Amino acid sequence: MKNLSILGATGSIGVNTLDIVRKNPQRFAVKTLTGGANLQRLAEQVREFSPEMVAVPRESDVPCLRKLLTGVEVEILSGVEGISACAAYSAADMVVSAIVGAAGLVPTMSAIQAGKDIALANKETLVTAGPVVMACARQNQVAICPVDSEHSAIFQSLEGHRHEDVKRLILTASGGPFLNRSLSSLSTVTPEDALAHPNWDMGRKISIDSATMMNKGLEVIEARWLFDLTPERIDVHIHPQSIVHSMVEYVDGSVVAQLGIPDMRTPIAYALTYPQRMPLDLPALDLCAIGQLTFMAPDTARFPCLNLAYEALAAGGSAPAVLNAANEIAVEAFLEGKIAFLDIPRVISMALDEHGSAGLDSLDDAITADLLGREVARESLSRFN
């Protein structure tokens, strides 16, 4: 039996994780859950999975949640401290880190410091503080099992091979909803257009990141820290079918890939059960029915966010944290109709230029860089309104 803490339980990854738990009650138990705005859903999850502790970001939501949970025995906490207490809860063996954004960083670090293995969906944690997080994981002998489908694919393609034999990683990207749109037509796309991802059903923020291709940029940074390879050895191929989830090229020219239908339950389950696998009740991959798998180079003129991520990695230190923070602010502004789609990379680029790069040696440094990135990005927003 594996005891889980699920951070961000009400989101897309959280719901998929609980679906796996629901179908495998002999394998998994839920010890803590955290959620954000959707209190109704969180309360339903608490009633179904009986955790011992639950937390929400806003203290003001506690009375409402308490009311929804009348008659249920569960400790209710709030704020970053409450969420971090869930992350470090003594009875849990593994923490599923599925909060969206840099808000996941502090709770994930709390889990690592408490010696919990991590099933990591929250890529922003590694983008914001990659070297600090990985050093802390090594120190605490904690395993970080990737949930992001590309990183799960690479993790699987590295199994049984030597790190020194790796030539490069090839991350695949669907290209998102605007793969075939012209640059000029991108200036008028709406949040609704951008949220309509062709292959994956995900949260709002990551859906916009997929449309700008910042998601792939964040994933390059995530891969850089997770697999300890320099950015020159991490490439991106557009692969619209989302069947080859990513690849590893070795020094002898062999390329090892992991394939599957696009369903997040596969990488989530692998992170939960590694090094074992468990049967999942999903449709089989039918390559004959799909017929063709295609690949092409990304178009960085239409999707400049990918290059911004490589630039931030090259600048090093706090630059990736600033990139991530500015992206969060820009995406939120786009979703609220305050800026245009093509303003997103402009806001991020201005934040990077303005901030430059400082050292990043501790969690505090990462938090400072995140706050600075947000501030600089908010200031630049006024220039677009």
Chain contacts with Mg ion (rule: CB under 5 A): 148-150
Question: Where are the extended beta strands (E) located within the chain?
Answer: 2-7, 28-34, 53-56, 75-78, 94-97, 117-120, 144-146, 166-173, 234-238, 244-250, 255-259
Report the residue closest to Mg ion, judged by CB.
Answer: 148
- Site residue total, ligand NAD (CB under 6 A): 28
> 253: left (phi > 0), else alpha (psi -120 to 50), else beta?
left
Give yes or no for residue 10 binding ligand NAD (CB under 6 A): yes
Q: Find, among 318, 277, 71, the residue nearest to 156 by Cα.
A: 277
Determine the number of helices (DSSP H) and then strands (DSSP E) in the chain: 17, 11
Asked whether position 124 contacts ligand NAD by CB under 6 A, the answer is yes
**Are the CB atoms for 224 and 231 separated by under 8 Å?**
yes
Q: Which of 11, 82, 175, 345 binds ligand NAD (CB under 6 A)?
A: 11
Task: Indicate which of ligand NAD, Mg ion, none lies near residue 96 (CB less than 5 to 8 Å, by partner kind).
Answer: none
Q: How far is the CB of 184 from ligand NAD (least distance, A)?
A: 29
Please choose which of ligand NAD, Mg ion, none residue 146 contacts, taking the beta carbon within 5 to 8 angstroms, the exact cut-off set by kind.
none
Nearer to ligand NAD (CB atom), residue 77 or residue 376: 77
Report the residue number, 16 or 318, with the smaller CB distance to ligand NAD: 16
222 contributes a contact to ligand NAD by CB under 6 A: no
Report in angstroms how near the CB of residue 21 gets to ligand NAD at its nearest.
15
Given a contact cutoff of 8 angstroms between Cβ atoms, the answer to whether 178 and 211 are in contact is yes
Q: HSE on the CB side for 88, CA within 13 Å?
A: 14
Q: How far is CA 242 from CA 171, 194, 245, 288, in A?
A: 11, 18, 6, 15
Smallest distance from ligand NAD to CB 329, Å = 14
Nearer to ligand NAD, 52 or 148 (CB): 148
331 binds, among Mg ion, ligand NAD, none (CB under 5 to 8 A by kind): none
CA distance 180 to 202: 21
For the segment 18-77, give every residue that binds ligand NAD (CB under 6 A): 35-37, 57
Distance of CA 106 to the CA centre of its chain: 15
| DSSP state at residue 143 | -
Among 264, 272, 308, 369, binds ligand NAD (CB under 6 A): 264
Q: Please state the φ and ψ torsions of residue 265, each to the nearest 5 degrees.
A: -65, -25
Q: Does 99 bind ligand NAD (CB under 6 A)?
A: yes
Q: Which is nearer to ligand NAD, 10 or 318 (CB)?
A: 10
Q: Which of Mg ion, ligand NAD, none sits in contact with 10, Cβ below 5 to 8 A by type?
A: ligand NAD
203 sits near ligand NAD (criterion: CB under 6 A): yes
Nearest partner of 162 among 234, 244, 268, 256, judged by Cα:
256
Among 117, 148, 222, 249, contact with ligand NAD (rule: CB under 6 A): 148
- Strand order of the β-sheet with 234-238 is 234-238, 166-173, 244-250, 255-259
Q: Which does 65 bind (CB under 5 to 8 A by kind): Mg ion, ligand NAD, none?
A: none
| Distances from the Cα of 106 to the Cα of 98, 134, 227, 272, angstroms | 13, 14, 22, 21
**CB of 78: closest distance to Mg ion in angstroms?**
30
From the CB of residue 279, how many other CB atoms can be counted at a distance below 10 Å? 8
200 binds ligand NAD, rule: CB under 6 A: yes
**In the complex, which residues of this chain contact ligand NAD (CB under 6 A)?**
8-14, 35-37, 57, 83, 98-100, 103, 121-124, 148, 200, 202-206, 264
